[in-house]
Amino acid sequence: MIVTVTYNPAVDQTIQFDEQMAPDRVMRAEDAQFDAGGKGINAAQLLTAMDRPCVATGLLGGFTGTFIRETLQDDGVETAFVDVDGTTRLNTTAIAAAEEYKLNQAGPTVGESVVDSLLEQVRAQSPDRVLVGGSLPPGLSPDAIDRIAAGGDWETIVDTGGDILRELDAQYGLCKPNRAELGDATGADVSTVEGCADAAEAFRERGFDRVLASLGADGAVLVGDAGRLYAEALDIDVVDTVGAGDALLSGVLSAWEAGADDETALQTGVAVSSQVVQRAGTAVPDLSDIETLRDNVTVRRL
Ligand SMILES: Nc1ncnc2c1ncn2[C@@H]1O[C@H](COP(=O)(O)OP(=O)(O)O)[C@@H](O)[C@H]1O
Ligand SMILES: O=P(O)(O)OC[C@H]1O[C@](O)(COP(=O)(O)O)[C@@H](O)[C@@H]1O
């Protein structure tokens, strides 16, 4: 069973324009939507859609927090959130004439005592795996993630920025940087797939049993004791890439929860992310056919 921890959830606002962004004028949108977001929350929605037992925890506050709580309830996602005084952030993705602008807020300031409250919620679920996903709100340091990892007898998976990854000290089952985050975390040349695999391999020594590097349109690399696996991305029509990394990671975790090997897990991850990027925002796609769709993904050893 998986518990996801999102220290800094967000309502994701996705706005679509037919024309390019331009300053000093009113841009009129063709379409807009709100989704419950933040990395652990997206993962919990996707895992639930794939019938994997999962509980979403994290910090919520204000009217945006209420929206996320209600959305997850409607989606049948089990939750155990901790209330905070501030207002959960609202992140905006503007898609304008095929260009993507991601505008993320910092989130409400919180006190360090929230880590104890969250640990209590996590322990109460007795999970096998804990996913800590996303940025940290003002008031928390990377130690808040290390404390979750060291707080119980579970495998911890972490999906956060390269600057935070570099500062973690605990032992982790997996981290999931994207290409830029892998570059930030390691300082290595990540311009080629092989360069990414080398950087991921070297980064394992910093306390990560496996590294899953997502490479956007170039696919993904999974490096661990079973070797270096590379999956090409599928050739698909992308609407936007918000939630792509969360989807890749959810597919991998879902497959591992079902007892699959790393190769099948990577195929599943790429298949789930392909479904998500073909839809606007972080809305949950139909994943009932994912075990068939994953056969379209080719994995090879590097
Ligand atoms: N342009 C694209 N075409 C096809 N698949 C994509 C594209 N962008 C992302 N993906 C899929 O989503 C996964 C995660 O994408 P990425 O952009 O690296 O994640 P993140 O959201 O963490 O930055 C990729 O490994 C790939 O499978
Ligand atoms: O916590 P961060 O790094 O600001 O990211 C939060 C944003 O990332 C998302 O979780 C999407 O993440 P990915 O595109 O990396 O999968 C959004 O739902 C959310 O608004």
Per CATH, the number for 2-301 is 3.40.1190.20
265 in contact with ligand 1, CB cutoff 6 A: no
d(CA 33, CA 67): 13
On whether the CB atoms of residues 157 and 130 are closer than 8 A, the answer is: yes
Q: Name which of 118, 112, 117, 181 is nearest 143 in CA terms.
A: 112
Identify the pLDDT of residue 12: 97
46 in contact with ligand 2, CB cutoff 6 A: no
Q: Tell me: the pLDDT tens digits for 16-38?
A: 999 999 999 999 999 999 999 99
Q: How confident is the model at residue 283 (pLDDT cuts 50, 70, 90)?
A: confident
ipTM for the complex shown: 0.98
51 in active site: no
Q: Tell me: the pLDDT tens digits for 149-189?
A: 999 999 999 999 989 999 999 999 999 999 999 999 999 99
Q: Tell me: the pLDDT tens digits for 137-150?
A: 999 999 999 999 99
On average, the pLDDT of the chain sits at 96
Whole-number Å distance, alpha carbon 242 to ligand 2 midpoint, is: 7
Q: How confident is the model at residue 217 (pLDDT cuts 50, 70, 90)?
A: very high
Judged against a pLDDT cut of 90, whether residue 282 lies above it is answered with: no
d(CA 99, CA 16): 10
What is the DSSP pairing of strand 155-159 with strand 129-133?
parallel
Q: How many CB atoms within 10 Å of residue 58?
A: 29
Of 35, 246, 262, 286, catalytic: 246
> Pocket of ligand 2, candidates 67, 238, 282: which has the most ligand atoms within 8 Å of its Cβ, to mutate?
282
Q: What is the DSSP string of 221-260?
A: EEEETTEEEEEPPP----S--TTHHHHHHHHHHHHHHTT-
On whether the CB atoms of residues 104 and 27 are closer than 8 A, the answer is: no
250 in contact with ligand 2, CB cutoff 6 A: no
The amino acid sitting at 141 is S
Identify the pLDDT of residue 158: 98
Whole-number Å distance, alpha carbon 113 to ligand 1 midpoint, is: 35
Nearest CA to ligand 2 atom 16: 243
Please compute the mean of the pLDDT values over residues 241-249 and round it to a whole number: 96
219 in contact with ligand 1, CB cutoff 6 A: yes
